[in-house]
Structure 1
Amino acid sequence: MTDLAPRELRVIVAVAEGRGFSTAAQALGMTQSAVSHSVRTSERKIGAVLFDRGRLGATPTPAGAAVAGHARRVLRLLDVLGAEARGIAAGPGSADTVSGPLRIAAFRSAALYLLPPALERLTARHPGIEPVVRMVRELGPGTAGEVLDGRADVAVATLGTTSPLPPGLVGGVLLEEEYALVHPAGHAAPRSLPLVDWAENCTSYTRDWWAAQEWIPRATVEAEDDGAVLSMVSRGLGMAIMPALSLRGAPDGMDITALGPDRPTRSIGYVTTPEQARSLAVRALIRELRAERGVEAVSDSRKSD
């Protein structure tokens, strides 16, 4: 068993985030030599080099990056442990009292449209919870990577059989999100328009469908996010194929057309660690997110068949 104290874990995290021993020392109120000694002791206990030391600082090795992620998660669990224990010790009926920060990672459309009503109900029922929401692009590790790295307690993520959860995480589907064609209002032949796309669109959950559609041209315009895509479409610059959450609050000047019975969908779900899945705050948020299942369809009067 690797026996690391919380103080040693905090040092590892501080060095990883500050990319240097002196920066970590300033953040922790320690001397640089004490930080260096702590890291060497941790490396000896673990049996692996955690940082590449260089003239420009300290860069986590692959082992160091993994250890820093575990360290963040352990330190967070210690915080949760204390908060929940104090709630239980307060007396009968107080075990459901949840307090403290709840760190949430979400991609843009989920943060804009799925989270707010869930958080409104959550904080009404548990006023002590302090949601801290970070918007993360759903590229590479995406929102699930934030949980894996210990930077978030729970994430709203895109899920799929070809995009499995990283090992060590758990999750569940909250809703199935349909894709639709969005185009300038009143256009007689929207499928003939240029394609406007963005990097987070058309990943593994739609790739097969996308490849089979001969009418879809190669994108002539790529934007940084779905909001920019919608703005461009509303200005008549092309058409786009977008998921339902992105189409909520779509600007004027465009129509939304269904893609037919074989339309693609993507699964939106929650992702967390097995330990956080048992925590009161995460369980409470998941309950509120599940209550949003009935509003996943695009409820827009401009949508047509």
Structure 2
Amino acid sequence: MTDPADLSPQELRILVAIADSGSFSAAAATLGTTQSGVSHAVRGIERKVGAVLFARGRTGARPTAAGTTAAAHARRVLRMLDVLAVDARAAARGTGADEAADGPLHIAAFRSAALHLLPPVLGRLTARRPGIEPRVRIVREVGPGTAGEVIAGRADVGIATLGTATPTPPGLVAGVLVEEPYALVHPAGHPAPRSLPLVDWTENCSSYTREWWASQDWIPRATIEAEDDGAVLAMVAGGFGMAIMPALSLAAAPSTVRITDLGPGRPTRSVGYVSTPELAASAAVRALVRELRLAHTGAVVPPTWHTGDAPEAVPRD
């Protein structure tokens, strides 16, 4: 077995191209080379790594467990080579890396963060650092979620829910940006919102929230499952049910719904960022986190929340 440190950047690009495209021929087309050249390169890469990285078949090439891990490392190494170039150019010009931050910034975010949290932040970021090119990928915050995108090397930073049933994976760094409360949301003017069915969606899965729900005998089991929080809000606005939703999901709530504070014992959700230690130190990620912290220094509370003046909408002790 050859030392895997002998892997070249081009070999890393081949690994990533196959993993992303699912075939040697598609990877060859992406890289502007031949399928035989890709096949030869993969045999050499596997020899250096000491593991089979792709299961070859008539329908293409599927990464093995070793191949998935190798491709994730390859993406992250290639990204760090980009960061090396940015920092080196800054040093050559005698400017700080922060001032010289440029190039793509890959961000993974769950839906409500991408809709309501990121746009103003990215506007300020690109105004101050016009060389940065944000590229946002919307990911469902279930299973690996946005943190999984960072681990896989597809994102430099993820906007994630922290402290939930899925903890931050080892090897990543994280920081809380905002603690957002959950609230009861129901059709405006409904005489007995607690009699309505509960509308829910898969991502609304904070372990603390679930425990809180289980202790509230006034909340029924969910009978309507929606695809995402936007669909939940639309169902509630249409009068089809009530929901327990975090503040970020309610940032653009229509006037046809009423949002009621659940009181001092209400559940909350921590929203923050995750990155690798290496990329967290890069100029672009530091600049993004700085803008996020400046924009979100306290709890997110929509201005239309009510504090319990609708007796039937507020849980009883």
TM-score, with length taken from structure 1:
0.96
Cα contact 1:169–1:272 (8 A) shared by 2: yes
Where do 5+ consecutive residues of structure 1 fail to align?
none
Residue of structure 2 in register with 1:2 after alignment: 4
Residues in 1 aligned to 2:271 and 2:250: alpha-carbon distance in whole angstroms: 15
Cα contact 2:97–2:283 (8 A) shared by 1: no
Cα contact 1:202–1:210 (8 A) shared by 2: no
Aligned residues: 305
Question: Is 2:153 the counterpart of 1:143?
Answer: no
Residues in 2 aligned to 1:93 and 1:268: alpha-carbon distance in whole angstroms: 30
| Cα deviation, residue 284, structure 1 | 0.6
Give the share of equivalent positions with the same residue, in percent.
67
How big is each residue's C-alpha offset from its partner over 1:174-219, in whole Å with a ceiling of 9 and x where there is no partner? 1111000000112232122111111111332312112212221121
Residue of structure 2 in register with 1:59 after alignment: 62
Which residue, out of 156, 162, 182, partners 1:153? 156
| Cα deviation, residue 87, structure 1 | 2.2
| Cα deviation, residue 11, structure 1 | 0.6
Partner amino acid, structure 1, of 2:191: A
Residues in 1 aligned to 2:193 and 2:72: alpha-carbon distance in whole angstroms: 47
Question: Is 2:68 the counterpart of 1:35?
Answer: no
Which residue, out of 206, 210, 222, partners 1:207? 210
How big is each residue's C-alpha offset from its partner over 1:42-87, in whole Å with a ceiling of 9 and x where there is no partner? 1111111101111111100011001101101111111111122112
Residues in 2 aligned to 1:188 and 1:259: alpha-carbon distance in whole angstroms: 18
TM-score, with length taken from structure 2:
0.92
Cα contact 1:245–1:296 (8 A) shared by 2: no
Which residue, out of 185, 193, 202, partners 1:182? 185
Where do 5+ consecutive residues of structure 2 fail to align?
309-317
Residue of structure 2 in register with 1:259 after alignment: 262
| Cα deviation, residue 242, structure 1 | 0.2
Partner amino acid, structure 2, of 1:287: R
Residues in 2 aligned to 1:93 and 1:209: alpha-carbon distance in whole angstroms: 48
Paired residues for 1:69-148 under 5 Å: 69-92=72-95, 96-148=99-151
Cα contact 1:170–1:271 (8 A) shared by 2: yes
| Cα deviation, residue 302, structure 1 | 4.3
Paired residues for 1:17-32 under 5 Å: 17-32=20-35
Partner amino acid, structure 1, of 2:124: R
158-167 or 209-218: bigger deviation: 158-167
Question: Is 2:231 the counterpart of 1:248?
Answer: no
| Cα deviation, residue 161, structure 1 | 6.0
Cα contact 1:108–1:137 (8 A) shared by 2: yes
Question: Where does structure 1 differ by over 6 angstroms across 4 or more consecutive aligned residues?
Answer: none
